[in-house]
Amino acid sequence: MIYEGDIFRPPSEASSLILQITIGCRHNQCTFCSMYKGKTFRVRPKGEIKHIIAMGAQEYPHTKRIFLADGDALACDTELLSEVLKDLYNSFPRLERVGVYGGPKDILEKSSDELIHLKEQGLGIIYLGVESGSAQILKDVNKGVTPEEMIAAGQKAMASGIKLSCTIIIGLGGKELMTEHAKETARVMNAIDPHYLGALTLMLAPGAPLAKKASSGDFTMLNTWETLEELYLMIQNFQLSDCVFRSNHASNYLPLRAHFPDEKETLLRTLKEVIENQRQDVLRPEFYRGL
C-alpha cells in the first residue's frame, strides 16, 4: 500500500485495511499530540485515492473493515467522501464497515443531511477525540473548541445514526485540574452519550509541546494511583445509557472494559479494590509510574 509518514489508527481498527486518503491533521495544534506534527494537512487528489483503492482491492480483496487515515479524513468534502465510500463498497465485495477520525469542527461543518447521507453511503463509525470536558483544559491544550461545541458535534454525529466512538485522556488536566477534568469530562460524555468510549492515559512523546511544559514543572503528570483515582471519579459521574467503555489501550495501567450502565457498579468496585489495596500485581509493570 502507499503510505506517507507514520500511520495511526484507533485500537479497534487494528485488523482493518488502512487507506490514507488524507495526509496529517487539519487542526494539528493540540499540545499533547505529536502524531502529525511533521505533516501539513492535505487531501489526496481524487485520481490518487482511486489508485489506492484499486491497489487495496487487488491486494486485499476479502477486506471487511477499512479505516480512512490520517488524522481527520472526515474533513474531506462530503461529495468526495461519498464517492470514496461508493468506490470502496463496489471494490471490496465483503466490506462491512468504513471508519474515520473526525474532529469536532469536521462534524459541525457538515449539515445533518450530509452526515445522514454519509451513513447511507456506508460510513459506519466516526472516532471523535473529546479529550476533556473542561473548558479550561480544552483551552490549555489548544483543542480549538469549547465543551459546548464538543457536545454539539457529538450529538450531531449521534443523531445521524453513524456509530460514534469518543476518546478521553486520563490525566490531561495534570494534578492541578484532576477533579475538574473528571467531573466536566463526565458531564460532556453524558450529554453526548456515545456508543463507544475509550479512556486513554496521557503519555507525552518528546515532540508534544505539553512535554516541554511537564519538564519545566508547569504541568504535573499524575502518578499511577492518581490516574486510577481520576478515572474512578469520572466513572462515578458517568450516566451513559448504552455504551461500551474501554480503558485497555497500551497507555492504560489497568486494562478495563465494561458496558454502561449495567456494569458501572462492578467497574467501580474493581477500581476501588485496586486503589485501596495499591494492587501493583494487576497493573502493567512497564508503565508503572510510582506512588
C-alpha cell at 100: 474515520
Determine, following the binding rule CB under 6 A, whether residue 17 of this chain makes contact with ligand SF4: no
Stretch that binds ligand SF4, among 30-38, 120-128, 226-234, 261-269 (CB under 6 A): 30-38
Determine, following the binding rule CB under 6 A, whether residue 33 of this chain makes contact with ligand SF4: yes
Nearest Cα to Cα of residue 104 among 161, 38, 164, 173? 164
Residue 3 gets the label, from left (phi > 0), alpha (psi -120 to 50) or beta, of beta
**Closer by beta carbon to ligand SF4, 145 or else 234:** 145
State the number of CA atoms in the 13 A half-sphere of 24 facing the CB: 13
Determine, following the binding rule CB under 6 A, whether residue 171 of this chain makes contact with ligand SF4: no
Stretch that binds ligand SF4, among 28-36, 75-83, 221-229, 257-265 (CB under 6 A): 28-36
Residue 121 gets the label, from left (phi > 0), alpha (psi -120 to 50) or beta, of alpha
Determine, following the binding rule CB under 6 A, whether residue 36 of this chain makes contact with ligand SF4: yes
Q: Which residue has the cell 470536558?
A: 133
Determine, following the binding rule CB under 6 A, whether residue 129 of this chain makes contact with ligand SF4: yes
In the set 23, 30, 49, 128, which binds ligand SF4 (CB under 6 A)?
Answer: 30
Determine, following the binding rule CB under 6 A, whether residue 165 of this chain makes contact with ligand SF4: no
In the set 71, 99, 171, 194, which binds ligand SF4 (CB under 6 A)?
Answer: 71
Stretch that binds ligand SF4, among 9-17, 29-37, 52-60, 204-212 (CB under 6 A): 29-37
Closest approach, Cβ 62 to ligand SF4, in A, equals 30
Stretch that binds ligand SF4, among 25-33, 76-84, 114-122, 191-199 (CB under 6 A): 25-33
**Closer by beta carbon to ligand SF4, 29 or else 112:** 29
For strand 243-247 and strand 22-23, is the pairing parallel, antiparallel, or unpaired? unpaired
Determine, following the binding rule CB under 6 A, whether residue 204 of this chain makes contact with ligand SF4: no
Closest approach, Cβ 216 to ligand SF4, in A, equals 21
Nearest Cα to Cα of residue 118 among 72, 70, 157? 157
Strand order in the sheet with 17-20: 17-20, 65-69, 97-101, 123-131, 163-170, 196-201, 243-247, 256-260
Query: Is 83 in contact with 37 (CB distance < 8 Å)?
Result: no
Q: 178: which residues sit within 8 A by CB, 6+ positions away? A: 222, 226, 229, 230
Nearest Cα to Cα of residue 199 among 245, 134, 150? 245
**Closer by beta carbon to ligand SF4, 10 or else 129:** 129
Determine, following the binding rule CB under 6 A, whether residue 194 of this chain makes contact with ligand SF4: no
Under rule CB under 6 A, which residues in 260-279 are in contact with ligand SF4? none
Under rule CB under 6 A, which residues in 84-103 are in contact with ligand SF4? 103
Determine, following the binding rule CB under 6 A, whether residue 245 of this chain makes contact with ligand SF4: no
CA dihedral over 176, 179, 183, 186, signed as positive or negative: positive
Taking the C-alpha atoms of residue 85 and residue 66, their distance in angstroms, rounded to an integer, is 10
Q: Which positions lie near ligand SF4, rule CB under 6 A?
A: 25, 27-30, 33, 35-36, 71, 103, 129
